[in-house]
Structure 1
Amino acid sequence: MADPALTARALARRAVHASILAAARARLTDEGPSQLSLRAVARDVGMVSSAVYRYFPSRDDLLTALLIADYDELGAAVETADAAAGSDAGARWVAVCRAIRTWSVAHPGDFALLFGSPVPGYAAPRETVEPASRTTLAIVRVVADATGSGASAGRHGSPRPPAAAPGMVGPAVADGVAALHAFGTELPEELLIRTLMAWTTVFGAISFELFGHYVGSVSDAAAYFDEVVARLADDLGFAAVFD
């Protein structure tokens, strides 16, 4: 429903802004992020390029808007799935991970922008950090709640550090510790590194699926993903719960 406080001019501008973003997202799927062109997007929405520049002064401004929109959309999907899964951490873990994959499979071009190869000449500004953190924080909250509530343990129970690489954990996850502190969240060091491993594995598995690297290896990507999710939960010290 439109905000009655907005003028007709503002509503029209919002509609054009949305149509430009939608056209740009379609081009992400067809051509990939590195090929995104303001002129091509302008043609798609029936505008001259000079008119599009009034909404997005440069390709980088358009890429930033796309990143924020995509991160927020993915984050909202994950948070909604988490909330709908109930209080059991194992069920929430499965719901969150599946929501990440479902969104990604439905939006392969957007996934490529967020998690694929960097776009040459573009550096994401600071304003993308908070939207980008929504999905990661959802994962961290599930793990923190699982370990704090005594959720049913996996085969290994509470995670214990491996014997290898003594003294390397702290330096390896120093940035992660700082990031969690910035968002008011804490995890024990060993659990943090396992959570980081789980986070990167979830997105790595989806990346392999979307970029075609499972050909000849995995015949059912959804079933394989669920197996990955279950084993990651076990490594984190609790059991995944599938519906």
Structure 2
Amino acid sequence: MDDNVISDAVVKDVARRLLPELGAAGLSPDAVAGDGGFARTAVEAVFPHRDDLLTALVIDAYDTSGAAMEQADRAAAEAGASAGARLLAVTRALRAWSFAHPGEFTLIYGSPVPGYHAPQDTVLPASRTPAVLAGIVRAALEAGELTPPRRALRGTPLLLPAAVELFGGVPEAPFSDVIERGIVLWSNLIGLLVFQVFSRTHDSVKDEAAFFDYAVAVAAESIGLEVPLEGGTTD
């Protein structure tokens, strides 16, 4: 390989291979160059700083995981699935991606990397996951598939304008807090994946795939959505 000519895709492939071993904090031009067998200057010609490389990896991780969810949702919707079945399909897709890419999952959902601050470029890719969830909740609301909540949100509104815009506006009562409930669902999903990817449940749950489906169904109850589980689970 020409020491002075290398593509960003090659650099990112090497960096992704190193993520499970070194962690994001351990990535450096030297580490990538050494593992890939090319000069450090070749790496720096593509990604001048470590943070440039991390940002590229973060964007790719959000994009590929979001794309997996979007593909699963399209397939489920085209098959005429209910909103609850669509939710199960997209969360299973994110779970499959997370286990297949633990280094990248840790990069975007694990502990912050010391000294790294994600730039604005990462915001749009990061929104793909909540956008899929929001689309399913909106579809459920429009199809009359949501059950009104027993507890209504009281007091000062809790949302930033961007969250309202992503959902398409605040629904009327009794579903006026469905966006807040959707954010709870989203955070529960990521927390569940953190527990499973980092093996926090392996000593208490005998079937983690089945438990994942059950947990998603329980979390979905908070927005009044029924997730069908009779179809079984997938690894």
TM-score range normalised by the length of the shorter chain:
0.7 to 0.9
Structure 2 residue 150 is matched with structure 1 residue 167: no
Task: Report % sequence identity.
Answer: 42
Q: 1:232 and 2:232 equivalent? A: no
Taking structure 1 as the reference length, the TM-score comes to 0.84
Could you tell me which runs of 5 or more consecutive residues in structure 1 were left unpaired when the two chains were aligned.
1-11
Partner residue of 1:158? 148
1:148 to 119, 142, 149: 142
TM-superposition CA deviations, 1:157-195 (whole Å, max 9, x none): 212435xx8425x2xx323xx123444622444211111
- Find the residue that maps to 2:127 and give its secondary structure: helix
Quote the residue 2:90 is aligned against.
96
Residue in 2 that maps onto 1:80: 71
Q: TM-score, normalised by structure 2?
A: 0.87
* Shift in Å, 1:91: 1.3
Quote the Cα distance in structure 2 between the aligned partners of 1:138 and 1:183: 10
The whole-number CA distance in structure 1 between the counterparts of 2:34 and 2:165 is 42
Aligned residues: 220
Stretch deviating more after TM superposition (64-73 or 181-190): 181-190
**Structure 2 CA distance, aligned partners of 1:96 and 1:184?**
17
Cα distance in 1 for residues equivalent to 2:177 and 2:166 = 19
1:66 is displaced (CA, Å) by 0.3
1:114 aligns with 2:114: no
Pick aligned residue for 1:185 from 168, 183, 187 = 168
Equivalent-residue separation in structure 1 for 2:89 and 2:108 (angstroms)? 21
Asked if structure 2 preserves the Cα contact closer than 8 Å seen for 1:160 and 1:190, the reply is no
Amino acid at match of 1:19: V
RMSD of equivalent CA atoms: 1.9
Aligned-pair distance for 1:26? Answer: 1.0
Mapped to 2, the partners of 1:183 and 1:95 lie a distance apart of: 21
1:36 matched to 2:50? The reply is: no
Correspondence for 1:7? none
Unaligned runs of 5+ in 2: none
